[in-house]
Amino acid sequence: MAMQQVCILGSTGSIGRSTLDVLARHPGRLRVRTLSAHSRMEALAQQAHQHQAAIVIVPDDAARQRFLDAWPAGATLPRIHVGAQALCEAVSDPVVTTVMAAIVGAAGLPSVLAAARAGKRILLANKEALVAAGSLLMQAVRESGAELLPIDSEHNAIFQCLPPAGQVGAPSRPARGVRRLLLTASGGPFLKTPLAQLDDITPDQACAHPNWRMGRKISVDSATMVNKGLEVMEAHWLFAMPQDRIQVVIHPQSVVHSMVEYEDGSILAQMGQPDMRTPIAHGLGFPERIESGVGLMTLTQMGRLDFEAPDLDRFPCLALAFCALRSGQHACIAFNAANEVAVARFLAGRLRYTRIAGVISACLDHVQTCTTHALHTLEDILALDDAIRRFAASRCHPDA
Ligand code: NAD
Ligand code: MG
């Protein structure tokens, strides 16, 4: 097996750190080539030093200086590249074989698209890229012969349960014999919270996920179930599946990561600990299985697995996501951009938790007036994303 040279975009985040943990277990087959981060330059310097990265990417000159200040005296410096464009150049580096796309939000889109155009093996954690630009991204994968491997635990589970043929690239129709995809969702921290209490939810309460340790944005998305909405869109693009054949099932234990239902009545499920190192190791090792550091799961101690239908009064954002997917790409871009703006405001203490759904809904109404806006290129998509962000900001009243 040839050595894989890995570029990790967003290495200081939750997925980035788990990726480095798996990578360090396999020095004979996986090597760090490039690391990038947007903040926490001390953490980036520590990672780059420990894993002997050849290149690091930082957002601006001030961050470059903080990186240099944190670098251990006397150690050989990596090359330091600055700015968003450097992310796109890094993924096209001929030495890089594998790109872990673990930037959070639509900010990760240009670099994911560049990796697809460069024909790399892409481990896709950054679901927002696929939500905003599914058609463009899948076309780029098809044309370049890139390998797109899902890292999101649900999509990785589905990938493992599908028939092996033809799923690594960009399928143009659902796999033969498959009736439906069943996406599991934990229901987050507020599955049983009385609805009247949701108005006063704080950022720390929303980020306290019962089963998973994740970045703050995706933790809020899990609480509102925006995350599951984004994942329905992600599944639609990854597996060429119409939205009426994707079902969301609440499963509070987060042990069954998702399922594939076949025409003959079989349902195949993938199970495991709620630890992202399992799907990350699956992507890094594919098609072989490699050690991930995840401990054993003892089924007899688990006792029971529960499944229930989602309550759309409790989770209005999930209903909005299905509406957006039915409406098309303009609405999916609006759904994602509105949510990113609303969640950032909520995390900054400037928007009520229950207003997140209101901001998304207002943007979905507003985007109806933008449907003549072309979406052929990355620039078209980023322009609509930007317009929606400005509109969303105008709907985020702090006292609403
Ligand atoms: P995180 O907030 O912990 O980390 C995000 C990383 O991206 C950091 O390294 C940060 O420096 C970098 N970053 C942030 N903004 C950036 C910008 N504008 N430009 C460049 N880099 C930027 O997030 P996370 O939880 O690791 O999630 C990363 C992605 O993976 C998200 O798209 C999320 O939906 C997806 N995902 C995460 C999990 C999980 O368990 N954490 C599971 C499934 C999918
Ligand atoms: Mg997920």
List, for residues 371-395, the tens digit of each pLDDT value.
888 999 999 999 999 999 999 999 9
14 pLDDT tier (thresholds 50, 70, 90) = very high
- β-strand pairing of 79-82 with 55-58: parallel
* Average pLDDT score over residue span 253-271: 97
pLDDT at 171: 87
pLDDT at 399: 56
pLDDT tens figures, 151-192: 999 999 999 999 876 567 788 899 999 999 999 999 999 999
pLDDT tens figures, 51-105: 999 999 999 999 999 999 999 999 999 999 999 999 999 999 999 999 999 999 9
Residue 18 alpha carbon to ligand 1 centre in Å: 12
pTM above 0.95, yes or no: yes
Q: What secondary structure letter does DSSP report for 368?
A: G
H helix runs in the chain, sequence order = 14-23, 41-51, 61-70, 84-92, 109-117, 127-144, 153-161, 203-207, 216-224, 226-238, 277-285, 299-302, 316-327, 329-347, 355-367, 378-395
pLDDT at 209: 87
Q: What secondary structure letter does DSSP report for 267?
A: E
Q: For all residues of the chain together, what is the average pLDDT?
A: 96
Residues with CB under 5 A from ligand 2 (ion): 152-154
Q: Going by C-beta distance under 8 Å and a sequence separation of 6 or more, which residues neighbour residue 349?
A: 203
Single-letter amino acid code for the residue at 314: R
Cis peptide bond upstream of 287, omega within 30: yes
Asked whether 259 and 235 are in contact (CB, 8 A), the reply is no
Nearest residue (by CA) to ligand 1, atom 42, is 152
* Average pLDDT score over residue span 328-343: 98
pLDDT tens figures, 198-244: 999 999 999 998 888 899 999 999 999 999 999 999 999 999 999 99
Nearest residue (by CA) to ligand 1, atom 22, is 38
Q: In what order do the strands lie in the sheet with 98-101?
A: 79-82, 55-58, 30-36, 4-9, 98-101, 121-124, 147-150
pLDDT at 172: 86
- Name beta bridge partners: 57: 36, 81
- Name beta bridge partners: 183: 248
Distance CA 386, CA 376 (A): 16
Ligand number nearest CA of 274 is 1
pLDDT at 380: 97
Q: State whether the Cα torsion 363-230-132-10 is positive or negative.
A: positive
Residue 222 alpha carbon to ligand 2 centre in Å: 9
Tokens of 52: 């002997």
Is the model's pLDDT at 397 over the cut of 80? Answer: no
Is the model's pLDDT at 356 over the cut of 90? Answer: yes
Distance CA 283, CA 261 (A): 23
Single-letter amino acid code for the residue at 78: P
What is the Cα 320 distance to its own chain's centre? 19
Distance CA 286, CA 239 (A): 18
pLDDT at 166: 53
Distance CA 256, CA 108 (A): 28
Tokens of 93: 């580096």
Nearest residue (by CA) to ligand 1, atom 25, is 215
Scanning the structure block, which residue is given the tokens 């992310």? Answer: 87
Q: Is the CB of 47 under 6 A from ligand 1?
A: no
> How far from 341 is each of 150, 221, 346, CA to CA, in Å?
25, 12, 9
Query: How long, in residues, is the chain?
Result: 400
What is the Cα 61 distance to its own chain's centre? 28
Q: Is the CB of 102 under 6 A from ligand 1?
A: yes
Tokens of 234: 């992600």
pLDDT at 231: 98
pLDDT at 69: 98
- Name beta bridge partners: 103: none
Q: Is the CB of 355 under 6 A from ligand 1?
A: no
Q: What secondary structure letter does DSSP report for 74?
A: T
Q: Is the CB of 347 under 6 A from ligand 1?
A: no
H helix runs in 84-148, sequence order = 84-92, 109-117, 127-144
Q: Between vectors from CA 337 to CA 279 and to CA 123, what angle results, nearest 5°?
A: 20
Is the model's pLDDT at 117 over the cut of 90? Answer: yes
Nearest to 243 by CA among 259, 230, 226, 262: 230
Burial classification of residue 49, based on how many CB atoms lie within 10 Å of its CB (0-12 exposed, 13-18 middle, 19 or more buried)? middle
Is the model's pLDDT at 145 over the cut of 60? Answer: yes
pLDDT at 23: 98
pLDDT at 302: 83
Asked whether 215 and 207 are in contact (CB, 8 A), the reply is no
Scanning the structure block, which residue is given the tokens 């994911």? Answer: 112
